[in-house]
Structure 1
């Protein structure tokens, strides 16, 4: 509904006694006249004229006339809820009908909180709710409101109690779960809705489900939803198209993302931002920078989010000089103040190039205090370049911040071991046990036949886990002939070597790969989504598998993609 500012019309709202009494015999005729005029209204201008006529004739205080006036103002497509609220406030004793009208109007306007507040006021005034007080649309507003308040249990309870569900009801429930990042639930709810066979999904619910596909890496389902949109809509708006591009890029399908982007009739800042960031996380730095130049030529101004994507592109592609140049341009030409995320990109870039002195100087110049993420990026760089001195200094900084990340200790322990400082390596590992630290539990998602399967290490929850484990043994047999040797250096637990090898053998990513090899055709790309950074052993393992089984394996972790093909990885072994 269109919301318009209310014009100051004090002469309209006058007291009843300012008008002469109208003879009873003429009241009904005048009522009919006003109702007839209301039915002809197609815009607010006409409604205001009828409102004025009612006041002149003394009919505003006639419950039948004012109820019709309120309903037309609140529920018409051209109506105005601000004006309707003003009319409602002039009613001395609004009844159930008037309250129902306002509740429906606010719900239609997606102002769910006002709708609920009116319902509470209705009860406080001792107006009895009727069947029209609880329309499906009001219940949808409750689902939306509970979703925004993160009260998902109440959200589901309202939905379950609805006798007559609608597409809007399902859409509100999916959106509520999407707002909380409950992506598995989004797909399950959508599946239940489509399983009933009597609903035609609307654009809003499809956008929420596409977002779920994006987060879970469900490319095949995302493609199906794209096809559904194309078949059932005459055209896609820029928001839906951008959402689809984001899905394709984050599900590892660069070609489809680029194709859709190039076909867009209208591109905006968000479209370019999504595409630049998408290319960046795949390591396609030069292509991302080319797109950034194109955006500037189109006269579209960048913001801090666009620049974050641009600097990430430089970071993943190792473009040090270009990254420093753009960091300077962001501040001086586009007058954008860098956030800690922008500084983090530059520091990671400098660390990648082993420019540690310059990185430390930049940290000292930062207008904000460095956080653990900033220091951890330098720790990773120190590990890659075997710079024990920098590693120790960074680790001290992390300890001062109160960081209790087990991964930091693992990196330092491995660096000590590499430098043959065995006592320091053992002491660092002992701190992990003494402080009761543990690594974040890793999980891997893989989509097979439009269904997303989740695996954790040592997983036996699948009904065909024995088949998967047998496949692991077959893969190991071939890996040995290719020269693969397990790397147990990043296994945290204080256990013997044989048990460490057992933990590596049934790693979540290896189980996901085994399942995909068993259940997909030989030429199919395997796409995996992980919640944590890949360890060195799994990275090496996957490179070997890509050669042995002649598969492209695309793995998405927290900050980037890895494309494994013919025994190499797109990250060039720096991640």
Structure 2
């Protein structure tokens, strides 16, 4: 007679339906049911190993495919440490693994983020001639998505087509997401359009894919289309993506509408949604609202603190960001790579050099987070903004890791601001050595030379940029009016209300003359006369956006503008004075 080990005896003791009839206990079915019961009670890998051994001793593992598959599935989906390593050994012990067993292994590896192993299991499945089904492909396509393996993803799409699984909505949603996240927007849209029955998950896949690629306007357009053109309710994943889009476009009204919908329809918001709300409110200029959401959260993780710290930094509350960082440590959460970047950026944006040096030093001393080029870039930016350019250069040269474009770009930007052409040339030379294909780098170099009136060097930088086929990303400003986001570029003449906007601009400039405003023509880094410089300044995208908002928003309401580039000092002065003249609070979020 086989006696249970102490662990198994304790598990059996909790069972209230154990059969005590000896004849029945010895029956195959009763033994299998008892072992399956034990399997469900396993709380760690050690208990599972003992139950697995019991299955083998009772000859259940080799004679009952259901038992073998159950042991494998319990282990692979448990999430215990090293569970997939043991699951692989269980899988090898199964004489004839079926489709379910292969699917279990694929899903387990994907859940463990071992995406390459998941694809290898699928390859073995094909080689062994095992039929795949509609449960095989969602996890496989997720693996391709995370690996950005578009080639493998297309091959898998071919298998889906051959097997006639194109009508399966779960497979199709996975294809939409895979193509979108890998940058193949046309293919993603093509799969979506072919769907006869589009579900909330289908729309969420489209919305999330656009958000993942930074296509914020397209993301919001799709989200609005789903909300207004269908009877479907967006999933939480789609709402998180929409909130990210709201944060990056300054679409506060839509973000608040989503928040309201969540409160009305979901009793308890998960931590990812709440963190997205914090991020959205801070980036849309509502720091008080972000703090309100943050303080009401029952649990917070590193990403939540990082979002709030970054939000405080964005609003110039560097000291408050540091206090929050200390609070996070006191709560027992450990700082990670992302949190340190947020804290160092907070110090940088608020000019807290001493505190930034201390935080960076503590990170090195603790040794729990390996400093990356991004951390050193933050430190260089901190020193550079404070005008400590020599120290910033020494920091780069003494880095224990390989120098990259991030650190040299930070130094170059600071050299332009402080008009230190000598050090700026060093930063530019090192940056171009790295074969930079970022058009912004050439523009900063060009602008640095233009400030020093070194026009031949300006021409050289612009020529090199053109020879490499690099195109300048135009600066733009976005403002939300009546629930719709309007985007303006410099000297914009394409808006339907163009005439009214430029009349308003003329009126604004007239009013500012009485406030002592004089355009800072040094911000126009072109070799043109002063009159031309004044005209160019007048049509900066931020000023055009403010004029439009003054015309079409209620008196006394807050104007919120989001920019893709940092504003110039003239726009800063202009906006400050317009705010006072028209008695309107104006919030501008730049890069």
After TM superposition, is the score higher than 0.5? yes
Once residues 356 and 312 of structure 2 are traced to their aligned partners in structure 1, the CA distance between those partners, rounded to angstroms, is 15
Shift of 1:196: 2.2
Contact conserved, 1:443 with 1:531, CA < 8 A, in 2?
yes
Shift of 1:318: 1.2
Deviations 1:539-573 (A, max 9, x none): 22212212211222221121xxxxxxxxxxxxxxx
Shift of 1:393: 4.8
**Of the candidates 85, 88, 111, which is equivalent to residue 99 of structure 2?**
88
Paired position in structure 2 for 1:22: none
Once residues 477 and 383 of structure 1 are traced to their aligned partners in structure 2, the CA distance between those partners, rounded to angstroms, is 32
| Structure 1 segment 72-151 matched on structure 2, within 5 A | 86-88=97-99, 102-104=133-135, 106-107=137-138, 129=164, 134-151=167-184
Contact conserved, 1:103 with 1:119, CA < 8 A, in 2?
no
Residues 311 and 232 of structure 1: CA distance in aligned 2, closer, same or farther (over 3 Å): same
Once residues 502 and 372 of structure 2 are traced to their aligned partners in structure 1, the CA distance between those partners, rounded to angstroms, is 46
**Of the candidates 516, 521, 524, which is equivalent to residue 549 of structure 2?**
516
Paired position in structure 2 for 1:243: 276
Once residues 408 and 427 of structure 2 are traced to their aligned partners in structure 1, the CA distance between those partners, rounded to angstroms, is 6
Once residues 109 and 435 of structure 1 are traced to their aligned partners in structure 2, the CA distance between those partners, rounded to angstroms, is 44
| Structure 1 segment 336-347 matched on structure 2, within 5 A | 336-347=369-380
Contact conserved, 1:103 with 1:118, CA < 8 A, in 2?
no
Deviations 1:74-112 (A, max 9, x none): 9xxx99999899333899xx9xxx968x31465489758
Residues 232 and 433 of structure 1: CA distance in aligned 2, closer, same or farther (over 3 Å): closer
Contact conserved, 1:112 with 1:142, CA < 8 A, in 2?
no
Shift of 1:453: 0.7
Match of 1:453, SS state, is: strand
Once residues 195 and 156 of structure 2 are traced to their aligned partners in structure 1, the CA distance between those partners, rounded to angstroms, is 21
Once residues 115 and 86 of structure 1 are traced to their aligned partners in structure 2, the CA distance between those partners, rounded to angstroms, is 25
Residues 548 and 428 of structure 1: CA distance in aligned 2, closer, same or farther (over 3 Å): farther
Gap runs ≥5 in structure 1: 1-33, 61-65, 418-424, 559-575
Once residues 324 and 247 of structure 1 are traced to their aligned partners in structure 2, the CA distance between those partners, rounded to angstroms, is 29
Deviations 1:361-396 (A, max 9, x none): 222211235445434444444455555554455455
Shift of 1:260: 0.7
Once residues 444 and 158 of structure 1 are traced to their aligned partners in structure 2, the CA distance between those partners, rounded to angstroms, is 33
Shift of 1:504: 1.8
Deviations 1:235-285 (A, max 9, x none): 101111111111111222111111111111011122111111221222211
Residues 276 and 161 of structure 1: CA distance in aligned 2, closer, same or farther (over 3 Å): same
Paired position in structure 1 for 2:299: 266
Higher helix proportion, which one?
2
**Of the candidates 335, 339, 344, which is equivalent to residue 306 of structure 1?**
339
**Of the candidates 450, 455, 460, which is equivalent to residue 413 of structure 1?**
450
Contact conserved, 1:281 with 1:312, CA < 8 A, in 2?
no
Contact conserved, 1:106 with 1:112, CA < 8 A, in 2?
no
Matched, 1:485 2:518: yes
Residues 160 and 494 of structure 1: CA distance in aligned 2, closer, same or farther (over 3 Å): same
Contact conserved, 1:407 with 1:439, CA < 8 A, in 2?
no
Paired position in structure 1 for 2:229: 196
Residues 353 and 146 of structure 1: CA distance in aligned 2, closer, same or farther (over 3 Å): closer
Once residues 357 and 465 of structure 1 are traced to their aligned partners in structure 2, the CA distance between those partners, rounded to angstroms, is 47
Asked which structure has the greater RCO (Cα within 8 Å, sep 6+), the reply is 1
Once residues 555 and 326 of structure 1 are traced to their aligned partners in structure 2, the CA distance between those partners, rounded to angstroms, is 29
Contact conserved, 1:531 with 1:557, CA < 8 A, in 2?
yes
Match of 2:521, SS state, is: coil
Matched, 1:231 2:253: no
**Of the candidates 186, 189, 195, which is equivalent to residue 153 of structure 1?**
186
Paired position in structure 2 for 1:469: 502
Contact conserved, 1:214 with 1:246, CA < 8 A, in 2?
yes
Paired position in structure 1 for 2:460: 431
Once residues 115 and 401 of structure 1 are traced to their aligned partners in structure 2, the CA distance between those partners, rounded to angstroms, is 32
Residues 235 and 365 of structure 1: CA distance in aligned 2, closer, same or farther (over 3 Å): same
Contact conserved, 1:440 with 1:532, CA < 8 A, in 2?
no
Contact conserved, 1:527 with 1:553, CA < 8 A, in 2?
yes
**Of the candidates 243, 254, 257, which is equivalent to residue 221 of structure 1?**
254
| Structure 1 segment 482-561 matched on structure 2, within 5 A | 482-558=515-591
Shift of 1:176: 2.1
Once residues 100 and 577 of structure 2 are traced to their aligned partners in structure 1, the CA distance between those partners, rounded to angstroms, is 73
- Decide which moves more: 298-307 or 169-178: 169-178
Residues 307 and 157 of structure 1: CA distance in aligned 2, closer, same or farther (over 3 Å): same
Contact conserved, 2:246 with 2:280, CA < 8 A, in 1?
yes
Aligned residues: 489
Shift of 1:452: 0.9
Once residues 351 and 119 of structure 1 are traced to their aligned partners in structure 2, the CA distance between those partners, rounded to angstroms, is 50
Shift of 1:502: 2.2
Paired position in structure 2 for 1:29: none
Shift of 1:210: 1.0
Shift of 1:506: 1.5
TM-score (norm 1): 0.74
Once residues 266 and 368 of structure 2 are traced to their aligned partners in structure 1, the CA distance between those partners, rounded to angstroms, is 41
Residues 246 and 467 of structure 1: CA distance in aligned 2, closer, same or farther (over 3 Å): same
Matched, 1:366 2:377: no
Over the aligned positions, Cα root-mean-square deviation in angstroms equals: 4.0
Deviations 1:286-333 (A, max 9, x none): 000000111111111101211111111111111121111111111012
Residues 329 and 473 of structure 1: CA distance in aligned 2, closer, same or farther (over 3 Å): same
Once residues 521 and 42 of structure 1 are traced to their aligned partners in structure 2, the CA distance between those partners, rounded to angstroms, is 67
User: Hey, which bits of structure 1, 4+ residues long, moved more than 6 A?
Assistant: 41-46, 52-57, 78-85, 112-119
Residues 372 and 479 of structure 1: CA distance in aligned 2, closer, same or farther (over 3 Å): farther
Shift of 1:115: 11
TM-score (norm 2): 0.72
Contact conserved, 2:442 with 2:465, CA < 8 A, in 1?
no
Shift of 1:340: 1.9
Once residues 101 and 263 of structure 2 are traced to their aligned partners in structure 1, the CA distance between those partners, rounded to angstroms, is 49
Once residues 90 and 413 of structure 1 are traced to their aligned partners in structure 2, the CA distance between those partners, rounded to angstroms, is 66
Matched, 1:325 2:336: no
Residues 399 and 122 of structure 1: CA distance in aligned 2, closer, same or farther (over 3 Å): closer
